[in-house]
Amino acid sequence: DKSPLKNRKKVSICRSMMTAAQDKMEHHSPYEALTAYNKAVIFAPHLEDHLSRACADRAKCLLEIGDHESALNDIEQAIAVDDYPFEKLFELEERRGHAFYG
């Protein structure tokens, strides 16, 4: 749905899930963080860089868990969305390297 009100709500949910997931990562709870990142990806609208950031951050979580194949898929999705901030593309390339190494 492209209604502005629904997209605003989706952005709000996505941001809150991303914040919760980052907090879980800081407290070394990667599986709980993965649940929050999954919700962030589900609610991320195709506006700005929300979906690409959610996929990229979920890939970081997946790498910590040890699921390198899924992390690589998320990295590819983040790049495919084409809204990932240019100045942070090095993070994706670094994560891609870790995924291939794993």
Give per-residue pLDDT as tens, 64-76. 999 999 999 999 9
Alpha-carbon distance 1 to 17, whole Å?
20
pTM of model > 0.75: yes
What is the pLDDT confidence band of residue 79, given thresholds at 50, 70 and 90?
Answer: confident
Please give the residue that has the higher pLDDT: either 28 or 87.
28
2-58 residue pLDDT tens? 566 666 778 889 999 999 999 999 999 999 999 999 999 998 877 678 888 899 999
Q: Which amino acid is at 87?
A: E
Q: What is the per-residue pLDDT for 102?
A: 79
More confident residue, 87 or 68: 68
Residue 5: is it exposed, middle or buried by C-beta count within 10 angstroms (0-12/13-18/19+)? exposed
Please report the pLDDT score of residue 40 as a whole number.
Answer: 92
